[in-house]
Amino acid sequence: MIKKQLIGIVTVLSLILVLTGCGSSQSNGEPENLGEELNYTITGIEPGAGAMGLAEDTIEGYENLNDWDLLESSTAGMLTELGEAIDNEEPIVIVGWNPHWMFASYDLKYLDDPNGTFGEDENIHTIARKGLEEDMPAAYEVLDRFSWETEDIEAVMADAQEMEFQEAASKWIDANQDKVKEWTDGVEKVQGQELELVSTPWDSERASGEVAKQVLEQQGFEVTLTPVDPAVMFQSIAQGEGDASVAPWLPITHGSFFEQYKDDITDLGPNLSGAKSGLVVPSYMDIDSIEDLPAK
């Protein structure tokens, strides 16, 4: 009788242990194994991205991450890894941001960032070289007025999944003449003045850069749009090689570049609000904060 009771107690105890997950090796939210499953690695993007600098700061700034690695890759490579992890319901930590379609395509969440290395929401700004206002007042005026909403940039980005950015931008311009008029009404047209826009290679900036380019072309400018690394973008505007950009993410993602060049650049303020970058995981992972990532 006592033996039977003992066996019963032991069975119940083991059941509780199994149910609470002790000693098992399931993939989701298993604190003991999570670090190993992630190979103590954050899946990053292009090494020149501002968000990669912030990811490095995060690894340094959070004690639990000090021995973690940041994988340099490309946006396309990161998205492939993310898609594969989600197909297999495996854990992954990526360098993520929005506006981007990753949040519409997958169920994702930002990890809380109590130290604020990635910060809160930020804006995408328009910057110009010193002297542009005097040299090309009509271009400066349109660029200064250029501002739109998240749903606008996302509409262009979504269309660009099925067509060229150029076509997606002109489709948006045709459908949003009211906004375009706000940027151009009363601004004198020019004839063939050359204007150099610099931008970065991510989808959000391919969208905004192409829209700005085409609107300025309608005003008579001959516009070139060159995608470069954020560091080169700031440098070229500061040196006056590029005329303007609608691509800087401030004050956080590109904050260090801006600090370096701010005396030689004119900041025309935000053209879009509600951008964000951070460490991002699939929603099925049980962790909520960067501090929940296990130390190596």
Q: Which residues bind ligand PBE (CB under 6 A)?
A: 45, 49-51, 97, 200, 202, 204-205, 230, 249, 253, 277
Of the candidates 146, 128, 263, 145, the one whose C-alpha atom is nearest the C-alpha of residue 195 is 128
Nearer to ligand PBE by Cβ, of 54 and 139: the residue is 54
Nearer to ligand PBE by Cβ, of 173 and 232: the residue is 232
Nearer to ligand PBE by Cβ, of 204 and 271: the residue is 204
- Residue-by-residue DSSP string for 258-280: HHHHGGGEEEEEEEEEEEEEEEE
CB-CB neighbours of 168 under 10 Å: 22
Instruction: Quote the least distance from Cβ 191 to ligand PBE, whole Å.
Output: 34
Instruction: Quote the least distance from Cβ 242 to ligand PBE, whole Å.
Output: 16
Instruction: Quote the least distance from Cβ 52 to ligand PBE, whole Å.
Output: 7
Nearer to ligand PBE by Cβ, of 35 and 44: the residue is 44
Nearer to ligand PBE by Cβ, of 200 and 235: the residue is 200
Which two three-digit tokens encode residue 15? 């059941």
Cis check: omega of the bond before 251, within 30 degrees of 0: yes
Fill in the DSSP letter of residue 252.
T
Beta bridge partners of 245: 127
Instruction: Quote the least distance from Cβ 206 to ligand PBE, whole Å.
Output: 10
Of the candidates 209, 196, 224, 204, the one whose C-alpha atom is nearest the C-alpha of residue 275 is 204
Instruction: Quote the least distance from Cβ 167 to ligand PBE, whole Å.
Output: 22
Instruction: Quote the least distance from Cβ 160 to ligand PBE, whole Å.
Output: 15
Nearer to ligand PBE by Cβ, of 138 and 237: the residue is 237
Q: Is residue 191 exposed (0-12), middle (13-18) or buried (19+ Cβ within 10 Å)?
A: exposed
| CA trace torsion 259, 264, 265, 266 (10° rounding) | 120
- CA 282/CA 55 separation, integer angstroms: 18
